[in-house]
Amino acid sequence: MRALARLAAATLLVAAPLAAVTVSAADAADEPVPITVLTSDFEDGTAQGWAGRAAETVAHSTAVAHGGTGSLEITGRTASWQGPSLDVLGVLEKGTAYTISAWVRTVSGTDNARLSVERRTGEVASYDQVVGNTAVNAGGWVELTGRYTLATDVDLLRIYVETAAGTGAFHIDDVTVSYVPSLPIQTDIPAVRDAVTSFPVGAAITGAETVTTHGDLLERHFDSVTPGNALKWDATEPSENTFTYAQADPLIAWAKANGRAVRGHTLVWHNQTPAWVFTGADGQPMTATPEDKELLLSRLENHIRNVAGHYGDDIAVWDVVNEVIDENQADGMRRSTWYAVTGLDYIRTAFRVAREVLPDAKLFINDYNTNIPAKRDKLYDLVAQLRSEGVPVDGVGHQMHINVSWPSVAETEAMIRRFMPLGVEQQVTEMDVSIYTSEGESFPTPPADRLLRQAYVYRDMFALFQRYAAEITSVTLWGLADDNTWLDTFPVTRKDAPLLFDTRLQAKPAYWGVVDPSRITSPSPSVSPSSSPSIPSSASPSTSPSASGGPGACAVAYRVTGSWPGGFQGDVKVTNTGAATVSGWALTWQYAGDQRIAQLWNGALTQSGPAVTVTNTSWNGTLAPGASASFGFLGSWTGSNPAPSAFTLNGAACTPL
């Protein structure tokens, strides 16, 4: 069980509905502490609540075990979807990102196993795949592990394991569900939307980004949202003329409720489009016949009338067509089924119908690698041709999936300038900056030098976009924070960190690259212990993180925000109530009980017995008169957990609040 492997001696007991977790102080100082909320080890001779999904038999077994002597055996399956299932309603909380892990082996033979979550709200059932097909056999145990965030209220919630093909018997063992507790979002740093005022800044979202702490972060920093998947064809019209907005409606409702713009993505694409769309009346894959062309264009028209019409003016910008260019073709057109069956007419139809349905919306053609001259020029030619024909293309979307070493600012500037003669709007629609420079690289945690390089890329690209604010009418990032990025599985599976906020929703150097480049600093060792920054910074030096400032009048609010037997979470807000700026601070207090802080964020901790000293980080060390800094922590206690009654800031007593 990966998540628990590095947890050691018992110094901290953290609350969990179903399990206690221990952690060594050394680990806890640096790394987030996963909390395990569910364990099925099958060591007590029972099935521990697991049941079959139909009439198959689910029973405790001692034939094989991953750990200990027991496992769960599933026999008598008559369909591949049958398998063990466990009720987790009330165990998984909405908005929390869980890691779910299960070990699987077959009784004999091979298959592919996968792990999913079944959820129901009212009569509507959904099946969310957590771990895709993974080869399993009878020779050894294979771990299925993946991440899952519940984004909606549900009446039924179950995790289950099934197989892809066969109905053979299999075992599961050592199932765990764990999560890393979310940190409060930083409220003492500028909002991206306030720092960048030349154009709206957006984020791509799934449901999970609109609830709990993620929702707070989204609301605080971003002007607009793009549903990352919820408006695609497979989500909105999974079977012919059956439209469903279950995924997208809550996202659009969130945007409306919070007064945020929405970029609609996307009406036509070659991916995430169900097979029925390209299947002819004869049940065969469509080809370039007049009948197939007519049917495909009528399906396209029906789709756009329904989806664009459903949202009307609530979505004022649409990526009407996505990724239609292939610069390696002489005519520049991607050889999709759309193109094979209709030529350019699918694009003409899509824009015409979208304009009819939404006369006021801005209609975009969107693509990636538009900074590569060959691709950029093919896209330019297409847009020029379409506009000369009167096809209502209002704008060009540059996806900007880039990385820390590519492309250059000059290439990106050339990209923007290329489209200026057309008089179209330009938007950056899917920006992220991978920390990887090749497919062969993989880092367990993002190295400090990559995070720093990434900060300079964000700095330089946003500076460029701001210089071209007359052309660039919005910039959207493809995700909210590094805990949920498509780059974790594309182009290969590895942890990436391409956005402004880290996996715990805290501001990265990249954030400062956008918001205030003078404050870009190397990430603290707790974020990335492995390497030190290696590229020169042209940014001005940061404020010193040391506690060198003079004494000042101060007020301190110390709060316990959550408490459970043995553990607690708290936060502290320190305010400079004096007349002089404090440059660098150290706050001290004494605990009256045996409290020990195990993990602290937005500050640096030293604790010696009951004496605690917290010093500023690199970015919250300067407190102008009236300004505050906040930090939070997880700790342990026994007996009682009284709040400290006295504090000093740089040696001078503060007023406790």
Q: Which residues bind ligand XIL (CB under 6 A)?
A: 228-229, 322, 399, 430, 486
Buried b (16+ CB within 10 A) or exposed e, 181-190: bbbbbbeebb
Q: Which residues contact 560 (CB under 8 A, 6 or more apart)?
A: 568, 569, 570, 641, 643
Backbone φ and ψ for 315, nearest 5 degrees, come out as: -120, 110
CB of 298 to ligand XIL, least distance (A): 25
Report whether 518 contacts 543 (CB < 8 A): no
Cβ-based nearer residue to ligand XIL, 65 or 203: 203
Cβ-based nearer residue to ligand XIL, 269 or 619: 269
Nearest to 138 by CA among 116, 159, 160, 113: 113
What is the H or E stretch that residue 303 is in?
helix 290-311
118 catalytic per annotation: no
CB of 385 to ligand XIL, least distance (A): 22
Q: Which residue of the set 367, 432, 471, 496 is catalytic?
A: 367
SS3 assignment for 404-464:
CCECCHHHHHHHHHHHHHHCCEEEEEEEEEECCCCCCCCCCCCCHHHHHHHHHHHHHHHHH
CA distances from 277 to 229, 240, 268, 306 (A): 18, 8, 11, 15
323 catalytic per annotation: yes
Q: Which residue of the set 319, 394, 430, 502 is catalytic?
A: 430
Cβ-based nearer residue to ligand XIL, 71 or 322: 322
Backbone φ and ψ for 261, nearest 5 degrees, come out as: -75, 160
CB of 397 to ligand XIL, least distance (A): 9
Cβ-based nearer residue to ligand XIL, 163 or 226: 226
CB of 137 to ligand XIL, least distance (A): 28
Cβ-based nearer residue to ligand XIL, 399 or 522: 399
CB of 254 to ligand XIL, least distance (A): 18
* Cα–Cα distance for residue pair 488/505, rounded to 1 Å: 16
Please state whether 49 falls in left (phi above 0), alpha (psi between -120 and 50) or beta. left
Cβ-based nearer residue to ligand XIL, 229 or 577: 229
Cβ-based nearer residue to ligand XIL, 399 or 506: 399
Cβ-based nearer residue to ligand XIL, 354 or 654: 354
Report whether 396 contacts 362 (CB < 8 A): no
Of all residues in this chain, which one has the CB nearest to ligand XIL in the complex? 486
Cβ-based nearer residue to ligand XIL, 192 or 400: 400
* Beta-bridge mates of residue 653: 648
Report whether 225 contacts 263 (CB < 8 A): yes
CB of 230 to ligand XIL, least distance (A): 10
Q: Which residues contact 563 (CB under 8 A, 6 or more apart)?
A: 569, 641
Cβ-based nearer residue to ligand XIL, 183 or 203: 203
Query: Which residue type, as a one-letter code, is found at position 597?
Result: I
CB of 322 to ligand XIL, least distance (A): 5
Asked whether the CA dihedral 33, 38, 40, 46 is positive or negative, the reply is positive
* Cα–Cα distance for residue pair 611/656, rounded to 1 Å: 17
Asked whether the CA dihedral 322, 327, 333, 334 is positive or negative, the reply is negative
* The total number of residues written for the chain in this structure: 657
Backbone φ and ψ for 312, nearest 5 degrees, come out as: 50, -135
* Beta-bridge mates of residue 590: 611
CB of 218 to ligand XIL, least distance (A): 16
CB of 474 to ligand XIL, least distance (A): 15
Query: Cα–Cα–Cα angle for 49, 120, 239, nearest 5°?
Result: 130
Q: Which residue of the set 73, 223, 323, 449 is catalytic?
A: 323
What would the two tokens of residue 86 be? 């466990």
Q: What angle, 0 to 180 degrees and rounded to 10, lies between the N-to-C axes of helices 409-419 and 373-388?
A: 10
367 catalytic per annotation: yes
**Which active-site residues does the annotation give?**
323, 367, 430
